[in-house]
Amino acid sequence: MASEKVIGALNEGRARELTAILTYMAQHYELEDQDFGKLATKMKEIGIQEMKHAEELAERILFLNGEPTMKPDAKIERGLEMEKMMDLDIGLETEAIKMYNEASKLCAAEGDMVSKELFESLLKEEEEHLDYFQNVKAHMERMGAAYIATLTG
């Protein structure tokens, strides 16, 4: 019998992934339009990874006879300056990492090791996303316009 707590945690994760997808794809479009193609391409790549995460969570929810949420857990912010984008993205990834660590523990306590492993696999990629966003933000702070110029094209 599937735990309602586990299904709830999976749906909470899915809602976070939907927010990340919409955020990163909106940033991709905005950056592409402003000719920051290198950063835009990376945002699209990360957005697609988040789509895969959302799909994995939905498949697990369905397997457990739950109903996957279709609603993001936050409002999508648009029109931000690049440094503010990175701050937002760092926040999204930090929250996801915290959420997935807690969800992993919950799944173990509920005896659902498959869902626990799913959260642990998602954690690895979320940590990679966080590292990327932190690095970009640090480069912007250290090198300013010179670094931002490298992101064009």
27 is written with which tokens?
């940033």
pLDDT, tens digit (0-9, with 9 covering 90-100), for 36-68:
999 999 999 999 999 999 999 999 999 999 999
Write down the pTM of the prediction: 0.95
CA Rg, the chain, in Å?
A: 17
Q: Which alpha helices (DSSP H) does the chain contain, by range? A: 4-33, 37-63, 82-109, 113-143, 145-150
Q: What are phi and psi of 124, to 5 degrees?
A: -60, -50
- What is the reported pLDDT for 55? 98
CATH 1.10.238.10 fits 4-150, yes or no: no
Contact predicate 111/88, CB 8 Å: no
Token duo for residue 146: 């010179």
The per-residue pLDDT for range 102-133, each reduced to its tens digit, is: 999 999 999 999 999 999 999 999 999 999 99
Whether 2 has a pLDDT exceeding 80, the answer reads no
Domain boundaries along the sequence of the chain: 4-150
Cβ atoms of 140 and 83 closer than 8 Å: yes
pLDDT tens column, 7-26 = 999 999 999 999 999 999 99
pLDDT at 1 over 70: no
Query: Among 53, 43, 67, which Cα is nearest to 14's?
Result: 53
